[in-house]
Amino acid sequence: MLLAIGAAFSTFYANPETGVATLTDSGEIALKGGIFHILNDALDVSLLFLVAGAIYFTAKTTSLNKLGGLARNMKYTSVFFLIGLFAVSGLPPMNGFASKLMIYQSTYQVNPILAIVAILCSILLLATFVKVFYSAFLGPKISKLENIKEVPRSMLIAMGIIACLIIFIGLFPNLVVENVVTPAANALKNAGQYITMITGGF
């Protein structure tokens, strides 16, 4: 997110006709990508936190050393973790892919090395979460966890709603960009006009 905002504002230039600073095309994409990623990250991280809460609810621990084989008894929770894993790592068709792609493209225009570093960081993040998934859900089952059960339906519904939003945004990113992200980006670019409109000039 900081990378996107930095890339956006590094492309400011003064319009020779108006003398007003404005963004280049790549800067606008970076700004929109940053805003989009803030929205996506809120959903992705929320889902992962709910999964962590579900694990603690059933296993009474979140220590990977004390977890293993949870997927056998917590199939839905394990699927929700995978969705969160793919989303936060920026893999298609999840929401994180669209916003990260916008950030990568715009950052590459400013500094290709930064774009490559950002991609490598996403790969490392993916590797970390794969390790967590394997240890908690696919590893050898701990004897103390033989009889654990899936979390209550209310918890599954909460995770399911966020997971559906993640997938929906990933499949139809333009809907969010056009109706949410672009207006927000325009408000940031024209903060003075926005404040005047809201306050009535006071």
Above 90 in pLDDT, residue 59? Answer: yes
The answer, yes or no, to whether residue 11 has pLDDT greater than 80, is no
Say whether pLDDT at 51 is over 90: yes
Maximal C-alpha separation, the chain: 73
Q: What is the pLDDT of residue 26?
A: 74
- Mean pLDDT computed over 141-164: 93
Mean pLDDT across the chain: 85
- Decide if pLDDT at 7 tops 70: no
Question: Which region among 26-35, 55-64, 118-127 has the lowest average model confidence (pLDDT)?
Answer: 26-35
Give residue 42's pLDDT. 96
114-150 pLDDT, tens digit each? 889 999 999 999 999 999 999 999 988 888 888 899 9
Give me the residue label for tokens 């918890």. Answer: 155
62-75 mean pLDDT: 92
SS3 21: strand
Q: Which residues of 147-158 are buried (b: 16+ CB within 10 A; e: fewer)?
A: ebebbeeebbeb
> Are 162 and 94 spatial neighbours (Cβ–Cβ below 8 Å)?
no
pLDDT in tens, 174-194: 999 999 999 998 887 775 555
Task: Give the per-residue pLDDT at 16.
Answer: 46
| pTM given for the model | 0.83
- If you write DSSP's letter for every residue of 89-125 in order, what string do you get? HT-TTSHHHHHHHHHHHHHHHH-HHHHHHHHHHHHHH
Instruction: Give domain limits for the chain.
Output: 2-186
**Which range is least confidently modeled, 48-62, 64-78, 131-145, 154-168?**
131-145
